[in-house]
Chains A and B, each alone.
Chain A
Amino acid sequence: TQLLEQSPQFLSIQEGENLTVYCNSSSVFSSLQWYRQEPGEGPVLLVTVVTGGEVKKLKRLTFQFGDARKDSSLHITAAQPGDTGLYLCAGGTTGNQFYFGTGTSLTVIP
Protein backbone atom coordinates (compact mmCIF):
# COMPACT_ATOMS: atom_id res chain seq x y z
CA THR A 1 0.00 0.00 0.00
CA GLN A 2 1.41 3.34 -1.09
CA LEU A 3 0.96 6.08 1.47
CA LEU A 4 1.45 8.87 -1.07
CA GLU A 5 -0.20 8.53 -4.46
CA GLN A 6 0.87 10.82 -7.28
CA SER A 7 -1.10 11.61 -10.41
CA PRO A 8 -0.68 11.49 -13.24
CA GLN A 9 1.95 8.76 -13.39
CA PHE A 10 3.12 9.88 -16.83
CA LEU A 11 2.73 13.26 -18.52
CA SER A 12 3.92 14.35 -21.96
CA ILE A 13 3.29 17.94 -22.99
CA GLN A 14 4.47 20.55 -25.48
CA GLU A 15 6.87 23.29 -24.51
CA GLY A 16 4.98 26.32 -23.22
CA GLU A 17 2.03 24.42 -21.77
CA ASN A 18 1.03 24.47 -18.11
CA LEU A 19 0.66 21.37 -15.95
CA THR A 20 -0.22 20.27 -12.44
CA VAL A 21 1.00 17.20 -10.56
CA TYR A 22 -0.89 15.94 -7.52
CA CYS A 23 0.30 14.15 -4.42
CA ASN A 24 -2.48 12.68 -2.27
CA SER A 25 -2.73 10.74 0.96
CA SER A 26 -5.22 9.83 3.66
CA SER A 27 -2.53 10.52 6.25
CA VAL A 28 -1.47 13.81 7.78
CA PHE A 29 2.12 14.92 7.30
CA SER A 30 4.15 17.43 9.29
CA SER A 31 6.19 18.30 6.21
CA LEU A 32 6.01 17.69 2.50
CA GLN A 33 8.90 17.83 0.07
CA TRP A 34 9.14 17.77 -3.70
CA TYR A 35 12.15 16.35 -5.54
CA ARG A 36 13.08 16.23 -9.22
CA GLN A 37 15.18 13.42 -10.61
CA GLU A 38 16.87 13.55 -14.00
CA PRO A 39 18.00 10.38 -15.83
CA GLY A 40 21.13 8.89 -14.33
CA GLU A 41 21.05 11.14 -11.29
CA GLY A 42 19.64 11.03 -7.80
CA PRO A 43 16.61 13.09 -6.75
CA VAL A 44 17.26 16.75 -5.94
CA LEU A 45 15.17 18.65 -3.41
CA LEU A 46 13.06 21.46 -4.88
CA VAL A 47 11.05 22.64 -1.88
CA THR A 48 9.84 21.83 1.62
CA VAL A 49 6.42 22.95 2.89
CA VAL A 50 5.37 22.61 6.51
CA THR A 51 2.23 24.70 7.07
CA GLY A 52 -1.26 23.75 5.93
CA GLY A 53 -2.29 26.00 3.03
CA GLU A 54 1.27 27.11 2.41
CA VAL A 55 2.19 28.17 -1.12
CA LYS A 56 5.77 28.45 -2.30
CA LYS A 57 7.02 29.63 -5.66
CA LEU A 58 10.28 28.72 -7.34
CA LYS A 59 10.48 30.60 -10.64
CA ARG A 60 7.84 28.90 -12.84
CA LEU A 61 7.04 26.23 -10.24
CA THR A 62 4.31 26.73 -7.63
CA PHE A 63 3.96 24.31 -4.73
CA GLN A 64 0.94 24.10 -2.45
CA PHE A 65 0.39 22.14 0.76
CA GLY A 66 -3.24 21.26 1.44
CA ASP A 67 -5.04 22.88 4.36
CA ALA A 68 -5.35 19.52 6.11
CA ARG A 69 -1.72 18.64 5.32
CA LYS A 70 -2.76 15.46 3.52
CA ASP A 71 -2.08 16.51 -0.03
CA SER A 72 0.08 18.75 -2.18
CA SER A 73 0.30 19.98 -5.73
CA LEU A 74 3.03 21.16 -8.05
CA HIS A 75 2.08 23.53 -10.85
CA ILE A 76 4.49 24.37 -13.66
CA THR A 77 3.81 27.37 -15.86
CA ALA A 78 5.10 27.51 -19.44
CA ALA A 79 6.96 24.21 -19.22
CA GLN A 80 10.45 24.01 -20.72
CA PRO A 81 12.37 20.93 -21.96
CA GLY A 82 14.66 21.39 -18.95
CA ASP A 83 11.69 20.58 -16.70
CA THR A 84 11.74 17.00 -18.00
CA GLY A 85 12.28 14.46 -15.23
CA LEU A 86 10.72 12.35 -12.53
CA TYR A 87 8.93 14.39 -9.87
CA LEU A 88 8.64 12.83 -6.44
CA CYS A 89 6.73 14.08 -3.45
CA ALA A 90 7.80 12.92 0.00
CA GLY A 91 6.06 13.30 3.35
CA GLY A 92 7.42 13.32 6.86
CA THR A 93 5.38 12.53 9.97
CA THR A 94 5.69 13.62 13.57
CA GLY A 95 6.59 10.00 14.32
CA ASN A 96 9.79 10.49 12.31
CA GLN A 97 8.55 8.38 9.41
CA PHE A 98 9.28 9.48 5.85
CA TYR A 99 7.58 8.26 2.69
CA PHE A 100 8.19 8.91 -0.99
CA GLY A 101 5.34 9.15 -3.47
CA THR A 102 4.83 6.93 -6.50
CA GLY A 103 6.38 9.48 -8.87
CA THR A 104 5.29 11.45 -11.95
CA SER A 105 7.39 11.19 -15.10
CA LEU A 106 7.23 14.44 -17.06
CA THR A 107 8.39 14.87 -20.65
CA VAL A 108 8.36 18.33 -22.21
CA ILE A 109 8.58 18.19 -25.98
CA PRO A 110 10.40 21.09 -27.68
Chain B
Amino acid sequence: GAGVSQSPSNKVTEKGKDVELRCDPISGHTALYWYRQSLGQGLEFLIYFQGNSAPDKSGLPSDRFSAERTGGSVSTLTIQRTQQEDSAVYLCASSQLGSSGRARYFGAGTRLSVL
Protein backbone atom coordinates (compact mmCIF):
# COMPACT_ATOMS: atom_id res chain seq x y z
CA GLY B 1 0.00 0.00 0.00
CA ALA B 2 0.96 3.66 -0.18
CA GLY B 3 1.35 4.09 3.55
CA VAL B 4 1.36 2.24 6.83
CA SER B 5 -2.06 0.77 7.53
CA GLN B 6 -3.32 -0.08 11.01
CA SER B 7 -6.48 -1.83 12.06
CA PRO B 8 -8.79 -1.45 13.78
CA SER B 9 -8.71 2.34 14.08
CA ASN B 10 -10.62 2.11 17.35
CA LYS B 11 -11.03 -0.75 19.78
CA VAL B 12 -13.13 -0.80 22.91
CA THR B 13 -12.72 -3.81 25.15
CA GLU B 14 -13.51 -4.97 28.63
CA LYS B 15 -10.86 -5.36 31.29
CA GLY B 16 -9.40 -8.85 31.20
CA LYS B 17 -10.06 -9.51 27.51
CA ASP B 18 -7.31 -10.07 24.93
CA VAL B 19 -6.88 -7.75 21.95
CA GLU B 20 -4.95 -7.96 18.69
CA LEU B 21 -3.79 -4.91 16.79
CA ARG B 22 -2.62 -5.18 13.21
CA CYS B 23 -0.02 -3.24 11.25
CA ASP B 24 0.64 -3.46 7.52
CA PRO B 25 3.89 -1.58 6.77
CA ILE B 26 4.98 0.14 3.60
CA SER B 27 5.99 -2.43 1.00
CA GLY B 28 9.75 -2.96 0.98
CA HIS B 29 10.35 -1.50 4.42
CA THR B 30 12.42 -3.96 6.43
CA ALA B 31 12.10 -2.28 9.82
CA LEU B 32 8.85 -2.13 11.82
CA TYR B 33 8.23 -0.43 15.15
CA TRP B 34 5.41 -0.34 17.67
CA TYR B 35 4.93 2.66 19.97
CA ARG B 36 2.36 3.60 22.58
CA GLN B 37 1.11 7.13 23.08
CA SER B 38 -0.99 8.37 25.95
CA LEU B 39 -3.25 11.37 25.35
CA GLY B 40 -1.22 14.21 23.86
CA GLN B 41 2.05 12.77 25.13
CA GLY B 42 5.27 11.60 23.56
CA LEU B 43 5.88 8.15 22.18
CA GLU B 44 6.80 5.13 24.29
CA PHE B 45 8.83 2.53 22.38
CA LEU B 46 7.47 -1.01 22.63
CA ILE B 47 9.15 -3.32 20.11
CA TYR B 48 11.24 -3.24 16.94
CA PHE B 49 11.58 -5.76 14.11
CA GLN B 50 14.42 -5.62 11.59
CA GLY B 51 14.39 -8.15 8.77
CA ASN B 52 14.93 -11.68 10.03
CA SER B 53 16.79 -10.62 13.15
CA ALA B 54 15.46 -11.31 16.63
CA PRO B 55 13.15 -8.46 17.63
CA ASP B 56 14.14 -5.84 20.20
CA LYS B 57 11.49 -6.35 22.87
CA SER B 58 13.10 -4.09 25.44
CA GLY B 59 10.18 -1.65 25.54
CA LEU B 60 7.37 -4.10 26.23
CA PRO B 61 5.88 -3.04 29.61
CA SER B 62 4.89 -6.52 30.80
CA ASP B 63 4.64 -10.14 29.70
CA ARG B 64 1.00 -9.49 28.76
CA PHE B 65 2.34 -7.75 25.66
CA SER B 66 3.70 -9.66 22.70
CA ALA B 67 4.17 -9.06 19.00
CA GLU B 68 5.02 -11.02 15.93
CA ARG B 69 5.83 -10.21 12.36
CA THR B 70 4.97 -12.80 9.75
CA GLY B 71 6.87 -13.10 6.49
CA GLY B 72 8.74 -9.90 7.18
CA SER B 73 5.64 -7.84 6.51
CA VAL B 74 2.44 -7.67 8.56
CA SER B 75 2.79 -7.40 12.32
CA THR B 76 0.34 -8.13 15.13
CA LEU B 77 0.59 -6.68 18.63
CA THR B 78 -1.27 -8.76 21.20
CA ILE B 79 -2.25 -7.58 24.66
CA GLN B 80 -3.53 -10.30 26.96
CA ARG B 81 -5.77 -9.73 29.96
CA THR B 82 -6.09 -6.02 29.21
CA GLN B 83 -6.00 -3.51 32.05
CA GLN B 84 -7.35 0.03 32.16
CA GLU B 85 -3.81 1.43 32.11
CA ASP B 86 -3.36 -0.18 28.67
CA SER B 87 -5.74 2.43 27.23
CA ALA B 88 -3.75 4.50 24.74
CA VAL B 89 -3.10 4.98 21.04
CA TYR B 90 -0.88 2.26 19.62
CA LEU B 91 1.19 3.48 16.68
CA CYS B 92 3.04 1.38 14.16
CA ALA B 93 5.85 2.73 11.99
CA SER B 94 8.10 1.33 9.31
CA SER B 95 11.36 2.42 7.73
CA GLN B 96 13.53 1.29 4.86
CA LEU B 97 16.37 0.25 7.11
CA GLY B 98 16.71 -0.13 10.83
CA SER B 99 19.42 2.43 11.38
CA SER B 100 18.77 5.19 13.86
CA GLY B 101 18.79 7.97 11.28
CA ARG B 102 16.09 6.53 9.06
CA ALA B 103 12.75 8.33 8.93
CA ARG B 104 9.87 6.52 10.51
CA TYR B 105 6.61 6.42 8.53
CA PHE B 106 3.67 6.09 10.87
CA GLY B 107 0.20 4.71 10.58
CA ALA B 108 -2.79 6.58 12.01
CA GLY B 109 -2.80 4.33 15.06
CA THR B 110 -5.28 2.19 16.94
CA ARG B 111 -7.04 3.90 19.81
CA LEU B 112 -7.56 1.28 22.53
CA SER B 113 -10.04 1.89 25.31
CA VAL B 114 -10.23 -0.62 28.14
CA LEU B 115 -13.38 -0.29 30.21
List residues of chain A with CB under 8 Å of any chain B CB.
2, 6, 30-31, 33, 35, 40-45, 48, 50, 86, 88, 90, 92-103, 105
Per-residue CB contact flags for chain B residues 24-54 toward chain A (1 = under 8 Å, else 0) read 0000000000010000111101000000000
Residues of B within 8 A of A98 (CB): 45, 100
Say which size band chain B's interface belongs to. 20 to 34
A30-B101, A96-B99 given as contacts; is B42 within 8 A of A88 (CB)?
yes
Per-residue CB contact flags for chain B residues 1-32 toward chain A (1 = under 8 Å, else 0) read 00010000000000000000000000000000
Chain A nearest Cβ from B22, distance in angstroms: 15
Residues of A within 8 A of B98 (CB): 96
Q: Is the CB of A42 within 8 A of B42?
A: no
Residues of A within 8 A of B101 (CB): 30-31, 48, 50, 92
Q: Which of A2, A42, A92 contacts B99 (CB 8 A)?
A: A92
B74 is an interface residue with CB less than 8 A from chain A:
no
Residues of B within 8 A of A105 (CB): 40
Residues of B within 8 A of A41 (CB): 106, 108-109
A16 CA to B40 CA, complexed, in Å: 24
Q: Is the CB of B4 within 8 A of A100?
A: no
Which partner residue on chain A sits nearest B33 by CB separation? Answer: A98
